[in-house]
Amino acid sequence: MVAKEIQERKDIPNEYKWDLESMYESVDAWNEDYKKCVKLSKEFEEFRGKVVNSSENLLNTLKKRDELYRLVENLYVYTHMKLDEDTRLGSSQELSGKGLSLYVEVEEKTSFLIPEILTLNEDKLNTYMDEQKELKLYKHYLDDILRMREHILSAREESILAQMGEVANSPQKIYSMLNNADLKFPVIKDENGKDVEITQGNFIPLMESKNREVRKTAFESLYETYKNYKNTFAATLNGELKSHIFNANLRNFSSSREASLSENNIPLTVYDNLINAIHNNLDIMYKYMDIRKRALNLDELHMYDLYVPIVKDVDFDIPYEQGVEIVKKALSPLKDEYLKGINEGFNSRWIDIYENRGKRSGAYSSGSYDSNPYILLNYHETLDNVFTIAHEMGHSMHSYFSKKHQPYIYGDYSIFVAEVASTTNECILLDYMLNNVTDKNERLYLLNHYLESFRTTVFRQTMFAEFEQLIHEHLEKGEAITADYLCETYKKLNELYYGPDVVIDEEIAMEWARIPHFYYNYYVFQYSTGFSAAVSFSEKILNEGGAAVDNYLNYLKSGSSDYPINVLRKAGVDMTTEEPVNNAMKLFKRLVDEFDALI
């Protein structure tokens, strides 16, 4: 099947859509679990005031908590994926709202748990573990709670905060509805002179067009549309930032950044080292931009020229099925255990492949502890989309192995390590393609793609991270967040990161409004750190094999059974040092130099 035109979902065959029915075969089945969950959440309140009265009470409370969250996770994950199939559907919006409300209710009903655990001292906890051997399963979970002792509030205050959860989520929800469902972009002419409506899904493919006028028109049309709503987007982002700062202040953190990173026990120096390392290597980015300008034979390199492949006359038109086969062959160094998992994924309808009207933009991996991992794509037949398959399958295999080898309490993994598995797959895929290409232009094209991965995943995401830090700090100083401030700050960062050989068009100042990750509370820096760790892992896997592959698989199987920094360190990558980022920059320099020599 070739998906060229944007279709209604009902017109796409089921084989190209994910199988959510394996979670809930009907809304009635979902409602049955909903009722069960409501009942369980009420029953959980019976533990209030009694959690640490005895070792038996503590164990029973933790078991009941697992049962409750395992169920509400199924309910919530299903509704968010169902909504993402077509965000226009009122029935899906209603179900999603119901699922979110229930999750917030469960948070409120269980909010007394952590404050009560915090009344335990270490000696008492050790005594309880001696009395109840099953409590040893929860040791890391309990240690992590005690680590956060000074940032946990009273049971009453935690209850109030939990009840505020849905309100705090409002800016992100409003943004999503505006950005994905309500915002309409103009119709322009594509390179064949045909009318094409700009969408979130086809914007980057349009920016990759060889026809510069198509790129320019798409770029200006999209950001002009955002500009028409700039004050609304600024207001939603302002609301999101204020909720981050409110939470940090209430929990006695010195900043919202510290509050966010503390959740995974990530030192602030990891964030600072990343930005410093990238600033120290911007000259390599400037050289790459100079090469791009020369290779495209342009008097001026504009922001709408950054996605078009530099190498002319090389087309990778890759149907989805062919893309899958490429990914499977590339990942063969990861051994049979890994390959068995990805084959299950490709053959068992884990993936929602093509764009349809109303579908959430972008790509992600999702799922609950009890479900299959699921992947949302908006597949277009480009090389970049093949890498998206590998990327999201990396996430899904991380989930697959974590759930298979860890109990529920540790069956998920932290955000900090989440992007490592996905990007390792991309690095291995690129190495495979570079090793199997003989044509000089195709090699140049692939090198260009690898360099673009560095530009977009390391440099650009670090720029996003710096923007996120600056706007939070601006608000924390008592300054106002306005659309003009956001545009000015964002444009200045583009000037810094892209250098003197790029014309920083006025339209790019609105790009912040297009980035949903600014609602994720210091998420984006982890793309850059994750890419750096992935470079280290992929080089070890490809150059050493054997034990390096085993170490990597052990990382995938670790879930959240230890702090993310420790999980990576055990597998051979220490993110508390500058070494992984600096190694990635050395590779980037080698690639730039090779590209410059061949172009």
CB atoms within 10 A of CB 30: 19
**3-class secondary structure per residue, 217-273:** HHHHHHHHHHHCCHHHHHHHHHHHHHHHHHHHHHCCCCCHHHHHHHCCCCCHHHHHH
Q: Which of 275, 321, 591 is nearest to 463 (CA)?
A: 275
DSSP conformation letters of 350-366: -EE-S-BTTPPSS-EEE
Q: Cα(365)–Cα(382) distance, rounded to whole angstroms?
A: 20
Q: Cα(551)–Cα(42) distance, rounded to whole angstroms?
A: 43
Q: Which of 592, 513, 560 is nearest to 290 (CA)?
A: 592
Specify the amino acid at residue 53.
Answer: N
Question: Is position 337 annotated as part of the catalytic site?
Answer: no
Q: Which of 439, 150, 480 is nearest to 315 (CA)?
A: 439
Residue of 73, 392, 426, 466 marked catalytic? 392
In angstroms and rounded to an integer, the radius of gyration of the C-alpha atoms of the chain is 24
Q: Cα(467)–Cα(493) distance, rounded to whole angstroms?
A: 7
Please state the separation of Cα 62 from the chain's center in Å: 29
Q: Which of 44, 20, 39, 41 is nearest to 30 (CA)?
A: 20
> Around 237, how many Cα atoms within 13 Å sit in the side-chain half-sphere?
28
Please identify every residue annotated as catalytic. Answer: 392
